[in-house]
Every structure is written in C-alpha cells, then in structure tokens.
C-alpha cells in the first residue's frame, strides 16, 4: 500500500474520504447487483419463471462457498488495515499470503462433497417438483466455478484494504459485464437454456479472478508476496478466522434463510411463492447497493484510524457513515413503495406473480431506512478487531430474530407472516445494535 493512500486514510476529512471510498464500492456493488437483476430478467423471459426459482435454490450453496473467500478477505483485510496503520508491513504481507492459501484449501474442500451429494442438496434447499431438473443443471456447472469466485471475493477485499477502491470497483464490474454478454450469446442466441445461464456465470467468475491476479502482479499493488508468505501461520490464521467468522456466519445464515424460505413458501404457495421470493431477493441485492457501498467504504477508514489510535476520527467516521447510509435507505424505501408493481413486471409477465409480489415487496422493504445503524454498527466491531460483538451483532437480525419469526408467524398468518418477519427483524436488530454501539463509543472512543 502506498504511503500516500495510507496517509489519506488517517488525514483526509472523513466526509470526503468516505465518499472517496464508498463511491467506487457502491458502483461496483451496483454493477454486480444489476448483473444479478438483469440475469434474472433474461432467465425469466428467455427460459421461464421456473428457471428463476431454480437459480434461487442454488444460491445458498454457491453463496456459502463464495462467502468463504469474502470472510477470509474481510477478516484478513481488517488485520492488513490495522497493520498498515501501525506501519507493520511484514504482518500485512504474511496475512495476504495466508489468505490465498486458506481460500484455496477451503473452497476446493467444499466443492467436492457439494458435487457428490448434489441429488440430496437440491431438494433440501427447496428444489422440488418442476424446479428440481433445471436447478440440478445450474448447480453442477456453477459449483465448478465457485472456487474462482471465492478467490476473487477474497482478493477484492484486499485491494480495498490497500486503499485502491477504484481497482476493487473494476474487479466487480468485469464479471457483471461478462456475464450479461455471455447470457445473451449462450441463452438467447445459442438457445442453451439453463446450461447457458450457468456457463455464463462460471466464466464471469474466471474473468474476475484473472483481473485480480493481474492487479497484484502489477505495479499498482505494493503487497508483493513471496512463496514464504503462503506458509500457514497459526497466530495470523487465528486472528483472521476470529474476524472472518463474522462474515462467514452471516453468509451461512443467509444460506439457511434461503433454505427455510424456499421450503416454507413452497409448502404455502408452491412454485409461484418461491418465484415471488426470488424476485424480492434480487431486488434486495440490487436496491441496497448504496447502503452496502457506504458500509464497505467505512471499513478501511475505521480500521486504519483505530490502529493509529485516532479515536476522534473513528467516531466521526461512524456518525458520517450512518448519516449517509440512512439517507440512501430512505430513498430506497420511497422508490419501492411507489414503483413496486412496475418493478415486478420487468421480471415476468406471469399474472399470478405480478399480483402477489408488490405487497410482499413493500413489507420486506418497510424498515430499510433504519438498517444503516445495524450494518455500520456490526461493521465497526469487525473493522477494529473485536470479533465477539461483531459476530453477535451480525447474527442478531437473521440468525437470532428473523429465522425464529419465519418459523412461528406463518403458522398464524400464512404467507403474510413470512413477509412481516422482515421489518420486525430489522427494527429489533437495529435497537440492539444501537445500544451496544453507543456503549462502545462512550467507553472506548474517548
């Protein structure tokens, strides 16, 4: 990491610095989310609504393995940011080498059994009835490309920790553009159906990884590691794992949530209800891009200044990030409330889906304006290396609150019980996070 970028994290005005870090992250997430969104539109219109449900069934497995790379990337990047803030370059290099080794070992170790038990996993994640065959086709091909995605997710977080958000943004744009182009060629032109959709996705992961490898080999990166850095180091692995488990646990809970939601909704309303959820899930990924961009931009700023013991700047970064993200959340909320019916028609012309989705979508997005506190609060504890509160706060929404709600409320309220679980979980987890974040600021950041 160049000293200029390192110095910027510790000296530039927080508001300007957060925009500088968050804007490329937001653009990258936007393009990636648009890729998922447009991919779903292509699949829904060129293959059929069942194909949307089939892809949604596969997401939990591929997301979890990709999350390994993200977890290792974020956990290691927290160490790298603080090491650079404390001017400890050797630790930063050793951490990066260990990130690469660990990602390769874990990703391959999960893909192999994932392929062996394919026929058991697909039904378990909601791939039943007409959904099974297209889900199986998509799953096998995409799972073979997931190790590339895991390495790319890991590397992208390290690029951001180096203070190079524009390169991190480009790394997210490349696979998105590649996937859309390949979707058009393989699905629309060559009529390859689910095989085409899966091949386009896997190939886009490989393009992304190729760019990231180029970045670290080029003069743009100063994290120049040697073979000695790949040797696993227990103290670094322990610290990396304690922080990375926060991200991994969050993604694991997301996978479990998909599993439960797909099965619960299939039992309540069949394939149509699973498709409704698939569309809403894509909209969540897409619409939250500015809020998630602010959160990602906040991480290296908080971590670096905490490592440099500039606590007033850490406080300022927390307040500014929550303000910016809350404004974005309010705008998203208003957009969904007014334009939900029009948004659904982009995905499908199926009458039953168009009738069911808007009201469900409004419930899911009802508490979006306040979630900035929950996201920034959990991210803060991760950035400064406090794994236990980061872990607990990250899991508070989906793990401790949302999952129990979707198991209980549908018994009394049917499908409505599923949808109202979203805002209830958002409100309760935000209150919990606000309490612990305020206590941390009062006691530690003096």
Length of the chain: 446
* Cβ-proximal residues to 308 (8 Å cutoff; 6+ apart), any chain: 10, 85, 86
Least confident of 105-109, 224-228, 251-255, 361-365: 251-255
Using the predicted structure, report yes or no on whether residue 5 has a pLDDT greater than 70.
Answer: no
> 37-46, 222-231, 262-271 — which one is most confidently predicted on average?
262-271
Mean pLDDT of the chain: 86
Instruction: Evaluate whether 394 touches 378 at the Cβ level (below 8 Å).
Output: yes
- Between residues 433 and 13, which one has the greater pLDDT? 433
What is the CB neighbour count within 10 angstroms for residue 105? 12
What's CA 27's distance to the chain center, in Å?
A: 14
pLDDT band for position 253 (cuts 50, 70, 90): confident
Mean pLDDT of 411-436: 95
pTM of the model: 0.70
CA triple 94-391-113, angle to 5 deg: 70
CA-to-CA distance for 444 and 291, rounded, in angstroms?
26
- Between residues 204 and 66, which one has the greater pLDDT? 204
The sign one gets for the Cα dihedral 338, 334, 423, 250 is positive
- Between residues 354 and 445, which one has the greater pLDDT? 354
**pLDDT at 425 (0 to 100):** 96
**pLDDT at 166 (0 to 100):** 86
- Between residues 308 and 171, which one has the greater pLDDT? 171
Instruction: Evaluate whether 188 touches 211 at the Cβ level (below 8 Å).
Output: no
pLDDT band for position 212 (cuts 50, 70, 90): very high
Least confident of 125-129, 163-167, 207-211: 125-129
- Between residues 174 and 8, which one has the greater pLDDT? 174
**pLDDT at 190 (0 to 100):** 92
pLDDT band for position 423 (cuts 50, 70, 90): very high
Q: What's the token pair of residue 147? A: 């190790």
Using the predicted structure, report yes or no on whether residue 63 has a pLDDT greater than 80.
Answer: no
Instruction: Evaluate whether 97 touches 225 at the Cβ level (below 8 Å).
Output: yes
| DSSP conformational letter for 367 | T
pLDDT band for position 4 (cuts 50, 70, 90): very low
Using the predicted structure, report yes or no on whether residue 357 has a pLDDT greater than 60.
Answer: yes
């Amino acid at each position: 990491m160049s000293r200029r970028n390192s110095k910027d994290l510790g000296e530039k005005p927080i508001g300007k610095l957060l925009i500088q870090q968050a804007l490329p992250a937001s653009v990258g997430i936007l393009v990636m989310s648009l890729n998922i969104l447009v991919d779903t539109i292509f699949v829904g219109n060129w293959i059929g609504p069942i194909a949307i449900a089939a892809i949604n069934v596969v997401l939990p497995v591929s997301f979890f393995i990709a999350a390994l790379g993200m977890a290792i990337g974020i956990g290691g990047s927290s160490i790298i940011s603080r090491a650079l803030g404390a001017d400890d370059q050797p630790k930063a290099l050793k951490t990066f080498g260990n990130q690469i080794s660990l990602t390769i070992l874990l990703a391959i170790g999960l893909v192999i059994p994932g392929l062996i038990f394919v026929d058991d996993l697909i039904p378990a994640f909601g791939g039943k009835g007409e959904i099974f065959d297209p889900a199986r086709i998509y799953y096998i091909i995409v799972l073979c490309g997931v190790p590339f995605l895991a390495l790319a997710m890991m590397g992208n977080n390290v690029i951001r920790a180096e203070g190079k958000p524009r390169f991190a943004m480009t790394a997210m744009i490349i696979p998105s553009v590649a996937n859309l182009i390949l979707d058009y060629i393989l699905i629309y032109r060559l009529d390859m159906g689910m095989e085409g959709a899966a091949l386009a996705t896997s190939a886009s992961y490989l393009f992304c990884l190729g760019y990231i490898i180029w970045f670290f080999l080029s003069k743009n990166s100063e994290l120049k590691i040697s073979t000695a850095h790949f040797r696993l180091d227990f103290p670094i692995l322990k610290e990396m794992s304690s922080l990375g488990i926060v991200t991994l646990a969050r993604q694991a809970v997301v996978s479990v949530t998909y599993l439960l939601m797909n099965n619960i909704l299939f039992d309540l309303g069949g394939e149509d209800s699973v498709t409704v959820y698939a569309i809403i899930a894509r909209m969540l990924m897409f619409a939250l891009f500015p809020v998630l961009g602010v959160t990602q931009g906040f991480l290296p700023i908080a971590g670096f200044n905490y490592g440099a013991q500039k606590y007033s700047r850490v406080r300022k970064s927390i307040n500014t990030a929550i303000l910016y993200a809350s404004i974005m959340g309010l705008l998203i909320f208003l957009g969904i409330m007014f334009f939900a019916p029009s948004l659904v028609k982009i995905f499908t012309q199926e009458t039953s889906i168009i009738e069911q989705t808007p009201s469900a979508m409004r419930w899911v997005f009802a508490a979006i304006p306040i979630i900035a506190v929950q996201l920034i609060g959990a991210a803060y504890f991760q950035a400064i290396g406090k794994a236990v509160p980061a872990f607990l706060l990250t899991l508070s929404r989906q793990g401790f609150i949302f999952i129990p709600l979707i198991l209980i409320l549908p018994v009394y309220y049917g499908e409505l019980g599923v949808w109202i679980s979203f805002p209830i979980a958002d409100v309760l987890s935000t209150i919990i996070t606000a309490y612990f974040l305020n206590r941390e600021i009062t006691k530690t950041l003096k």
